[in-house]
Amino acid sequence: MATISTTDYLLDQAKRRLTPTLNNLPLGPIERRLNNREWPQFTLAEPPAGSGLKPVMGDAGLPVLGHMIEAFRGGPEYVLHVYRKYGPVHYAYSPALSSVSALGPDATQAVFSNKNKDYSQKGWHPVIGPFFNRGLMMLDFEEHMFHRRIMQEAFTRTRLSGYVEHIDKVASKVVADDWVANDPRFLLHPALKELTLDIASVVFMGHEPGTDHDLVTKVNEAFTVTTRAGGAIIRTSVPPFKWWRGLQARKVLENYFEERVKERRKAEGTDMLTVLCHTADEDGNSFSDDDIVNHMIFLMMAAHDTSTSTLTTMGYHLAANPEWQERCRDESSRLGDGPLDIEALEKLETLDLVINESLRLVTPLPFNVRQAVRDTDLLGYYIPAGTNIVTWPGMNHRLPELWTDPDKFDPDRFAEPRSEHKRHRYAFAPFGGGAHKCIGMVFGQLEIKTVMHRLLRKYRLELPRPGYTPQYDYAGMPVPMDGMPIVLRPLH
């Protein structure tokens, strides 16, 4: 029977509270003052004479820090404040990434659906480029389409069926054997992170469940370091700091996948790595070994924190809203405990509503980054070539002009006849949009449903205390700062 050691628990909590970040330092009063302060505005660039375009206005915030305190602590709330104050297009200097924020659904649409191909993925490069070099999201235009067409073959319904089988085996076992019941020290977020990594070792890397333990652990650790490195404060390779560690860890991943590709080229299997080794588009184009290494490293990152975040948010809201938990469980009970397939998962329609509402309230990738490849016009504002542009679906998801009572957990807003997500084409875009829209959307939804179905069949989820609400750190993907304690009460 799995247990939690008090020492481990206390050490974990101490680390969470005492590692200084912009979120756990007592900066509340400073944050409020910064939010109310009038910053001197300047023009990003004068529009060409006679163009009829307006200049983008912006500011620099605090010296050195820019607006990092407000953005990292407030997340979408802070961006909403910027939208209300300055409108849909506003520039901010930042030591992390100076950029124009393109806010509201119209601005999101103008960037995502841009027919002129004015916006490149190069905006992502300073954020995560060295760690996810030549991943699909980092490629542009024709080259991107070429790679996406080949990769699409790994996401057909037949392929997805194969992945679901693997996901279900791992999820059923971990939830039943490893998770600790009746213990308020159980933290849902790290437990889910570990589970989705276990799933990845089988579904993405092709290891048999429970085998190659040391190798899988080493790769998973390297993967975690690589993923975190994008949030480094010292953004250059200086040992022993985060950026440097990320590059070292990326090398470990490259070596591992190079070896594995050689092996899987000759093998058969329904895991994603083996599929990518054998897949070709309609014209017979396939990936080189290097392509597969780069794509696998990116795919693991793209799939991992996003699904973990969504499941964590769902866990909280289902615990806080027992009536929704019961609705989901009733549907799951109708499926029973047999092996899952896509058809079965499609019947869990209430869970679809809860997934959407969780993605709306805590959007795992709340913003998307682009770079203007030429001088262009964004909603009538002049954008010079080379400007970084950030769209904010995570903020659009909170707009009262699109969503009724936006802070309320209300999954029925996604059901007929309300269908609030249809009020604008880009009212709801947790998976992005346009040419780079998430290729793993259905995979992610199937994984989330599988894990949640298994969880709801086994436990009732309860809050650690009445009225508990998690606090989020927005310095990257949103994560609950305390790890999200949830009590699992066995049903039988």
Residues near ligand HEM (CB under 6 A): 136-137, 148, 299, 302-303, 306-307, 310, 364-365, 368, 430-432, 436, 438-440, 443-444
Nearest distance from C-beta of residue 275 to ligand HEM, angstroms: 11
The residue among 106 and 326 lying less far from ligand HEM, judged by its C-beta, is 106
* Secondary structure (3-state) at 205: coil
Q: Alpha carbon of 118 to those of 122, 268, 371, 377, 387: distances in Å? A: 12, 42, 8, 9, 11
The residue among 22 and 110 lying less far from ligand HEM, judged by its C-beta, is 110
3-state SS, 84-131, equals HHHCCEEEECCCCCCEEEECCHHHHHHHHCCCCCCEEHHHHHHHHCCC
The residue among 86 and 367 lying less far from ligand HEM, judged by its C-beta, is 367
Q: Which residue has the closest beta carbon to ligand HEM?
A: 440
DSSP state of 435: G
Nearest distance from C-beta of residue 441 to ligand HEM, angstroms: 6
Nearest distance from C-beta of residue 446 to ligand HEM, angstroms: 9
Nearest distance from C-beta of residue 254 to ligand HEM, angstroms: 18
The residue among 230 and 444 lying less far from ligand HEM, judged by its C-beta, is 444
Tell whether residue 328 is among the known ligand binding residues: no
At 472, which helix (H) or strand (E)?
strand 472-473
Side-chain-facing half-sphere of 434: CA atoms under 13 Å: 23
Nearest distance from C-beta of residue 274 to ligand HEM, angstroms: 15
d(CA 235, CA 126): 9
Nearest distance from C-beta of residue 412 to ligand HEM, angstroms: 21
The residue among 261 and 314 lying less far from ligand HEM, judged by its C-beta, is 314
Nearest distance from C-beta of residue 359 to ligand HEM, angstroms: 6
The residue among 444 and 480 lying less far from ligand HEM, judged by its C-beta, is 444
159-165-166 Cα angle (round to 5):
95
Q: The tokens of 457 are what?
A: 């069949």
Nearest-CA neighbor of 364 among 332, 408, 394, 334?
Answer: 394
CA 420 vs. chain centroid, Å, equals: 22
d(CA 241, CA 74): 26
The residue among 69 and 345 lying less far from ligand HEM, judged by its C-beta, is 345
Nearest-CA neighbor of 95 among 274, 249, 233, 301?
Answer: 233
The residue among 223 and 382 lying less far from ligand HEM, judged by its C-beta, is 223
* Secondary structure (3-state) at 485: strand
Long-range contact set of residues 157-161: C-beta below 8 Å, sequence gap at least 24:
157/342, 159/270, 159/275, 160/342, 160/442, 160/443, 160/446, 161/341, 161/342
Nearest distance from C-beta of residue 31 to ligand HEM, angstroms: 27
d(CA 224, CA 222): 5
Nearest distance from C-beta of residue 111 to ligand HEM, angstroms: 9
CA 86 vs. chain centroid, Å, equals: 27
**What residues are paired with 371 via a beta bridge?**
120, 388
The residue among 347 and 437 lying less far from ligand HEM, judged by its C-beta, is 437
Distant-in-sequence, close-in-space partners of 444: CB < 8 Å, separation ≥ 6: 303, 306, 307, 310, 438
Q: The tokens of 231 are what?
A: 């949030």
Binding residues for heme, by number, are: 438
Binding residues, by number, are: 438
